[in-house]
Amino acid sequence: MKILIDERGKKYIPPSKGDFQTDLGIIKKEKIERSLPGDELKTHLGKKFKVIEANVNDFIELMERRSSIILPKDIGIVISYTGLGSGQKVLDAGTGTGSVALTLANIVGDTGKVYTYEIREDFAKLAKKNIKDFGMKNIILKNKDIKKGIKEKNLDLIFFDLPRSWEIIEDAKNALKDGGWLVFYNPYIEPVKIIHKKAKECKFKEIKTIEVITREIEIKKKGTRPRTRMIGHTGYLTFTRKI
pLDDT tens-digit series, residues 76-125: 999 999 999 999 999 999 999 999 999 999 999 999 999 999 999 999 99
Q: Is pLDDT above 90 for 5?
A: yes
Kindly state the average pLDDT of the residues 185-201.
97
CATH of domain 59-241: 3.40.50.150
Q: Are strands 89-93 and 40-42 parallel, antiparallel or unpaired?
A: unpaired
For residues 132 and 97, give the distance between their C-alpha atoms in angstroms, rounded to a whole number. Answer: 12
Average pLDDT across the chain, whole number:
96
Q: What is the pLDDT of residue 66?
A: 85
Beta strands in the chain (DSSP E): 2-6, 11-12, 20-22, 25-27, 40-42, 48-53, 89-93, 113-117, 139-142, 155-160, 176-186, 205-211, 217-220, 223-226, 236-241
pLDDT of amino acid 231: 83
Give the pLDDT of residue 218: 95
CB 181 within 8 A of CB 208: no
pLDDT at residue 141 is higher than 90 = yes
CATH says 2-54 is which class? alpha beta
Residue extents of the structural domains in the chain: 2-54, 59-241
Which amino acid appears at position 168 of this protein? I
| CB atoms inside a 10 Å sphere around CB 21 | 13
Q: Provide, rounded to the nearest whole percent, the portion of the chain with pLDDT above 70.
A: 100
Residue 152 pLDDT greater than 90, yes or no: yes
What pLDDT is recorded for position 229? 87
Q: How much is the average pLDDT of 161-187? A: 98
Q: Concatenated DSSP letters for 84-131?
A: --TT-EEEEE--TTSHHHHHHHHHH-TTSEEEEE-S-HHHHHHHHHHH
Q: What angle do CA 63, 69, 73 make, to 5 degrees?
A: 110
pLDDT bin (cut points 50, 70, 90) of residue 230 is: confident
Mean pLDDT (whole number) for 24-48: 96
